[in-house]
Amino acid sequence: MTLFGRGNHKRAFSLPPEYSRVDNLLDPTTPARLEDVIPDRKIYKHRTLVLCFDGTGEQFDDDNSNVVNLFSMLKKDDPEQQLVYYQAGIGTYSIPQIAQPWMAKVHKILDMMLGHHLDAHVMSGYEFLMQNYSIGDKICIFGFSRGAYTARALAGMIHKVGLLPRHNLQQVPFAYKMYSREDETGWRLSSNFKKSFSIDVDIEFLGLWDTVASIGLINRRLPFTSSNSNVRYFRHALALDEHRAKFSPSLWTHETNDDLSSKFGVSRGEMPKSNPKVKDQEASPEPSPILKHSHTRQSSTEKTLHEYEQEYDANSGSEPCTSVEEVWFSGCHCDVGGGAVKNDTRNALARIPLRWMIRECFKAKTGILFHRELLWKAGLDPGSLAPRASERPPVPYSNQSEAGSSTLNSPITPTTSQQNPFLKDFVSEEDEDRKDALTRVNDMLKKAPGWWILEVLPQKIKYLKADPDHPDDQAREVGRGWSWDYKICWANLGRARHIPHKHLGRVKVHRTVKLRKEAEAKELEERKKYVPLPKWNFEPLWVD
């Protein structure tokens, strides 16, 4: 059925079926346990707005991404406490005004290749917030791949032009135009637009899986997508073994410069802040010392987007206190963001960063409401998450015993006495980590050789280089000794990702990478010893 009728095909309208809330509550077949949510709704007084942006070409199907998996666990039936929003990925967008199926398909392909409708993806999320935000709400945004970039762009748009009051739909395209402008006049107009029309709000939590550094074939960075002082918690899971040219990771930078003149931005006190502190059991994030001192230097003589961002934040009086965690995981792009295996697959690498992200939501005390029993499906014990996220016990690494056998196959003591209603063989989260860490890496250059076409084409790559203004290692340890630059890579040829190991101190790598490295070849699904693609000559910080 198309939007515009042709011949006998007419658009049909029908009333939605009516459901009895009373009958549903009294239905004896409804599992009562699924009504339980964590954390306790009495602890948090605020409402949470949760937005989820899927990856390129991703939507609900038989091999769902971690965005869908996370969304499926959220409480969705109580808009007074939590509102949720899901958006399918770039390359799945359909223009309502296009009646011809072949034209719609062409637009979807262009969207996937060029990010042709990135603005529509960002504005759709913006409109959801505009229509639903109320004072005191906490905004939490999640995304995978280019959906992660969309999530960053939405957070950046809210920072630069603010959030319009509800029902101002005609102003949204103009607000996006103001946001995307990179010239000096555009920055000045954005500041005035924010003061005249918008609400000044913060982003509570930005959780991303493997943000890519480009949207389609065109490299372009939108304002505040690499750094955003309006974000309170930033969590980023990165793929250690991804090595396609167009999937270069987009790392978070932490820059502020106290010496910048107050030229752009909204000065403190010029407009009211819409996020009053609510009296619940929340703790402010611990600001990293990196955020207070670091800045990156641009060599261009012209004023760069980075410098405009700095001047905007300097004038707004933003105190950068973002809590940042960027952690590397085993596997390629879809082994971190999901979508590489069928939904009924018992164990997969992507389950590890999914559990990590959910645990970070509880550690940050976001107040996001999850169905308690559905967390078991991800291999999580709800008792270890609420009322307080507990410290994880050590994982059994495969150190060789006296008998010469690996300890990976040794039994693990159950961490809970409660039976998992979904995973009958569940023992503990550590056991789930162990099983998932030994599964296959899904390398698209091997599974879909067509990707090699892009490996032989010239690519513009963004990377971190040592800053001659801060040559000492101590400065680089806190992030001041690096600057962003671009170079032309004439043929990537499946080269491993570059990990700037002194960009923000020690590189954080999930402890399951060590577990996988130390496993015997016979224990791994590929039946060969695991060696991460990037070669590093430093000791990472192993995290859980």
Which residue's structure tokens are 């759709």?
124
Which residue's structure tokens are 């135009």?
177
Mean of the pLDDT values across residues 453-474? Answer: 67
What values do phi and psi take at 308, rounded to 5?
-65, -40
Residue 69 forms part of a structural domain: yes
User: What local confidence, expressed as pLDDT, does residue 289 receive?
Assistant: 39
**pLDDT tens digits, 273-313:** 776 555 555 445 554 433 433 333 344 434 566 666 666 66
Last residue of a domain, one of 325, 359, 377: 377
Beta strands in 310-449 (DSSP E): 323-329, 370-371
Task: Map residue 414 onto helix, strand or coil.
Answer: coil
Single-letter amino acid code for the residue at 256: T
The band of 135, judged by pLDDT with boundaries at 50, 70 and 90, is very high
CA 127 to chain centre: 20
Mean of the pLDDT values across residues 400-417? Answer: 45
Contact 400, 389 (CB under 8 A): no
**pLDDT tens digits, 322-367:** 999 999 999 999 999 999 899 889 999 999 999 999 999 999 999 9
> Based on the domain organization, do 347 and 479 belong to the same domain?
no
Q: Does residue 204 carry a pLDDT above 90?
A: yes
User: Which is more confidently placed, 6 or 116?
Assistant: 116
Which residue's structure tokens are 């004896």?
28
> Positive or negative CA dihedral for 410, 413, 414, 415?
negative
Cα atoms in the Cβ-side hemisphere of radius 13 Å centred on 397: 11
Can you read off the two tokens belonging to residue 400?
A: 């060789």
Count structural domains, the chain: 2
User: Which is more confidently placed, 110 or 494?
Assistant: 494
Which residue's structure tokens are 């012209």?
302
Residue 174 forms part of a structural domain: yes
Q: What is the mean pLDDT of the chain?
A: 78
Residue 315 forms part of a structural domain: yes
Residue 238 forms part of a structural domain: yes
User: CB under 8 Å to 106, separation ≥6 — which residues?
Assistant: none
Residue 473 forms part of a structural domain: yes
54-68, 90-104, 319-333: least confident range? 90-104
**CA 337 vs CA 333, 451, 454, 499: distances in Å:** 6, 19, 21, 19
Residue 223 forms part of a structural domain: yes
Single-letter amino acid code for the residue at 432: E
Of the segments 6-10, 82-86, 98-102, 452-456, which one has the largest average pLDDT value? 82-86
Burial tier of 390 (Cβ tally within 10 Å: 0-12, 13-18, 19+): middle
State the Cα–Cα distance between residues 258 and 188, nearest whole angstrom.
20
> Based on the domain organization, do 149 and 278 belong to the same domain?
yes
Contact 93, 121 (CB under 8 A): yes
> Based on the domain organization, do 362 and 457 belong to the same domain?
no
Residue 406, strand partner residues = 400
Task: Map residue 456 onto helix, strand or coil.
Answer: coil
> Based on the domain organization, do 192 and 310 belong to the same domain?
yes
> Based on the domain organization, do 252 and 166 belong to the same domain?
yes
> Based on the domain organization, do 456 and 353 belong to the same domain?
no
User: What local confidence, expressed as pLDDT, does residue 458 receive?
Assistant: 81
Last residue of a domain, one of 441, 461, 489: 489
- Domain with 456 in it: 449-489
3-state helix, strand, coil split of the chain in percent (to 5) is 30, 15, 50
User: Which is more confidently placed, 254 or 432?
Assistant: 432
Percent above pLDDT 90 for the chain? 46
> Based on the domain organization, do 160 and 42 belong to the same domain?
yes
Q: Where are the alpha helices (DSSP H) in 213-332?
A: 289-293, 305-316
Residue 541 forms part of a structural domain: no
State the Cα–Cα distance between residues 525 and 487, nearest whole angstrom.
37
State the Cα–Cα distance between residues 264 and 182, nearest whole angstrom.
12
> Based on the domain organization, do 361 and 453 belong to the same domain?
no
- How many Cβ atoms are within 10 Å of 322's Cβ, its own excluded? 21
**CA 174 vs CA 157, 168, 197, 220: distances in Å:** 12, 11, 12, 20
> Based on the domain organization, do 45 and 183 belong to the same domain?
yes
Residue 372 forms part of a structural domain: yes
User: CB under 8 Å to 493, separation ≥6 — which residues?
Assistant: 455, 456
> Based on the domain organization, do 54 and 158 belong to the same domain?
yes
Task: Map residue 486 onto helix, strand or coil.
Answer: strand
> Based on the domain organization, do 349 and 475 belong to the same domain?
no
Task: Map residue 406 onto helix, strand or coil.
Answer: strand
The band of 25, judged by pLDDT with boundaries at 50, 70 and 90, is very low
> Based on the domain organization, do 469 and 348 belong to the same domain?
no
